[in-house]
Structure 1
């Protein structure tokens, strides 16, 4: 049951990413800046947050090594996502997208770590959340 509680959200969100990646001919708005990379980064922040939550089972991370595990899982899923996109009509895969996805996953993991640290400190001080 604990597995479902912590890993189901990761699997569900992974499915959402896969579904969006399956849309043919999806184009980011054009402009002077490549907003596509920002979308990739933002898409993977929740992914990294959920992976960090699952890896720590909702507890305060005991060391920073867990963040590297978040980065590794984000990287592996980003690689598989870009591989999948290479088969979708009108889509292309890019290692720069993998980089943006991985960075987003890392940021999500960091946000989770900070959230848990503050929550833990608040509870230790006897304050309510």
Structure 2
């Protein structure tokens, strides 16, 4: 049986690990939310391809951080399952981001943006498993 001091230490370490892996995801999600709440963003070379590339690049770190957090939280996730879950969560967050953006003056929501967000999240998750060599 564990002593109360050991139980407290174990609890603190688990909590620290949780913050260590999930805080970057929450922080980066907040950055995405903040940027999407800006009513005007000057985008050089605006156009279909550039806009979608920005969405992909914006969500790539999100997918990487999300994969890292999920893998540290549930080590039983295989590479394919991890990337699949990251893709679904990127889709859901992308949908919520576009919904939020639809209420911002001067901004508009788009399903192609959600697709680009999902691709960016998927690429971030894929890059994470390649870096970590998760089978």
TM category (shorter chain) comes to: 0.7 to 0.9
Q: Answer with 1 or 2: which has the greater Rg.
A: 2
Is 1:108 aligned with 2:132?
A: no
Structure 1 residues 62-71 or 12-21, which shifts more?
62-71
Q: What is the CA–CA distance in structure 2 between the aligned matches of 1:37 and 1:53, rounded to whole Å?
A: 24
In structure 2, the CA distance between the partners of 1:80 and 1:31, relative to structure 1 (3 Å rule), is closer
> Aligned pairs, how many?
118
- More helix as a share of residues: 2
1:26 CA drift (Å): 2.0
- 1:47 corresponds to: 62
Q: Which residue of 1 aligns with 2:24?
A: 9
> Are the equivalent residues in 1 in contact too, given 2:79–2:129 (CA < 8 A)?
no
Is the CA contact 1:46–1:105 (under 8 Å) kept in the aligned structure 2?
Answer: yes
Moved more, 94-103 or 20-29: 20-29
Question: What stretches of structure 1 move > 4 A for 4+ residues in a row?
Answer: 58-61
- Tell me if structure 2 keeps the 8 A contact 1:24–1:91: yes
Q: CA deviation at 1:64?
A: 1.3
TM-score scaled by length of structure 1: 0.84
Give the aligned partner of residue 25 of structure 1.
Answer: 40
Unaligned runs of 5+ in 1: 121-129
